[in-house]
């Protein structure tokens, strides 16, 4: 397996797919062309991750802040997400990919919701790898949504405020059944979290590459996992304990 330790493959990889705009600009192309290429990259990365035995891939497709982008880019991204979700469904089924979504789906255009719902239902029986599409996703909003649900539980008399703890809040996140990400990959060089998986990434290993997302290849994925495998994870303890 390309010199990877099969015992230490990250179960859950999260990706911040940055650099689509720069990729396009360098070629004198419209920004949307970069996103289009980015979608093709995502497809190949999902397949590569499945082959490497990664169990969950979370892809930051559209953040709760991305609505601030120019209107044409927002609608272009929505069209692209809908298109990709329809065009790739058969291939995702063939590849054993289960599609799930994290984010406030109800705020998306109806046609996008409808297509994503169809993908979720049509792939619900697959188990080779989960593709978690983070769309209209914000880490803070996710925590707010969980806090609201906890408050409602208190209001209904189901729990006492003192019972609100880490385990309870974890169980109220969008997909509590997923393991926390082991590895977070960010392309295009920026060293920030950008409101991604704030709750879940407490002990996630970060890997930042200068490569722009549309250029990110299977080899880059393997390099990121190799780097991850050289790390010692301590989860707040000392090495001997961990
Ligand atoms: C960040 O690059 C990328 C995004 C905001 C969109 C990510 C979307 C895709 C990769 C394609 C859509 C995916 C699916 C599932 C169809 P940027 O625009 O911020 O790049 P820049 O920093 O170079 O301008």
DSSP H or E run through 65: none
The answer for residues whose C-beta is within 8 angstroms of residue 78's C-beta and 6 or more apart is 62, 108, 109, 112
Catalytic residue of the set 18, 119, 182, 220? 18
Whether 38 lines ligand 1, by a CB cut-off of 6 Å, is: yes
Residue 188 CA to ligand 1 centre (angstroms): 11
Catalytic residue of the set 53, 66, 126, 195? 66
Whether 137 lines ligand 1, by a CB cut-off of 6 Å, is: no
Query: What mean pLDDT is predicted for residues 209-237?
Result: 95
Look at residue 50 in the predicted model and tell me its pLDDT: 98
Flag whether pLDDT at 240 surpasses 80: no
Look at residue 207 in the predicted model and tell me its pLDDT: 98
> Which residue lies with its CA nearest to atom 3 of ligand 1?
18
pLDDT over 70 percentage in the chain = 98
Residue 62 CA to ligand 1 centre (angstroms): 7
> Which residue lies with its CA nearest to atom 12 of ligand 1?
39
- Alpha helix positions (H), the chain: 20-26, 31-51, 71-87, 89-94, 110-122, 139-155, 166-171, 218-229
Look at residue 239 in the predicted model and tell me its pLDDT: 74
Tell how strand 56-63 and strand 97-102 pair up.
Answer: unpaired
Question: What is the chain's mean pLDDT, rounded?
Answer: 96
Flag whether pLDDT at 115 surpasses 80: yes
Q: Where do the domains of the chain lie, and which CATH numbers do they carry?
A: 7-138+179-229 (3.40.1180.10)
Look at residue 236 in the predicted model and tell me its pLDDT: 84
CA distance 221 to 211: 11
Query: What mean pLDDT is predicted for residues 126-133?
Result: 98
Q: Band of the pLDDT at 241, cuts 50, 70, 90?
A: low
> Which residue lies with its CA nearest to atom 2 of ligand 1?
18
The per-residue pLDDT for range 156-209, each reduced to its tens digit, is 999 999 999 999 999 999 999 999 999 999 999 999 999 999 999 999 999 999
> Which residue lies with its CA nearest to atom 18 of ligand 1?
21
Flag whether pLDDT at 1 surpasses 80: no
**In the annotation, is 167 catalytic?**
no
Question: Of 65, 103, 101, which is closest to residue 85 (Cα–Cα)?
Answer: 101
The per-residue pLDDT for range 44-98, each reduced to its tens digit, is 999 999 999 999 999 999 999 999 999 999 999 999 999 999 999 999 999 999 9
**In the annotation, is 66 catalytic?**
yes
Whether 112 lines ligand 1, by a CB cut-off of 6 Å, is: no
Q: Band of the pLDDT at 242, cuts 50, 70, 90?
A: low
User: Which mutation among 14, 17, 115 tests ligand 1's pocket best, with the greatest number of atoms within 8 A of CB?
Assistant: 17
């Amino acid at each position: 397996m390309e010199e990877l330790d099969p015992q230490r493959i990250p179960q859950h990889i999260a990706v911040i797919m940055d650099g689509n705009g720069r990729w396009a600009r360098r070629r004198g192309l419209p920004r949307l062309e970069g996103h289009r290429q980015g979608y093709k990259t995502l497809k190949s990365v999902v397949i590569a991750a499945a082959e490497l035995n990664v169990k969950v891939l979370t892809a930051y497709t559209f953040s709760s802040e991305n609505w601030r982008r120019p209107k044409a880019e927002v609608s272009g991204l929505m069209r692209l997400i809908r298109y990709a979700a329809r065009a790739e469904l058969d291939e995702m089924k063939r590849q054993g990919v289960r599609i799930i979504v994290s984010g406030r789906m109800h705020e998306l255009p109806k046609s996008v919701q409808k297509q994503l719902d169809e993908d979720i239902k049509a792939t619900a029986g697959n188990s080779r790898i989960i593709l978690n599409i983070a769309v209209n996703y914000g880490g803070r909003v996710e925590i707010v949504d969980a806090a609201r649900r906890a408050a409602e539980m208190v209001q209904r008399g189901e729990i006492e405020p003192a019972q609100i703890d880490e385990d309870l809040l974890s169980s109220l996140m969008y997909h509590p059944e997923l393991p926390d990400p082991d590895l977070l990959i960010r392309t295009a060089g920026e060293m920030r979290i950008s409101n991604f998986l704030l709750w879940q990434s407490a002990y996630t290993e970060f890997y930042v590459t200068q490569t722009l997302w549309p250029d990110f290849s299977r080899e880059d994925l393997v390099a990121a996992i190799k780097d991850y495998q050289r790390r010692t994870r301590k989860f707040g303890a000392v090495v001997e304990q961990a």
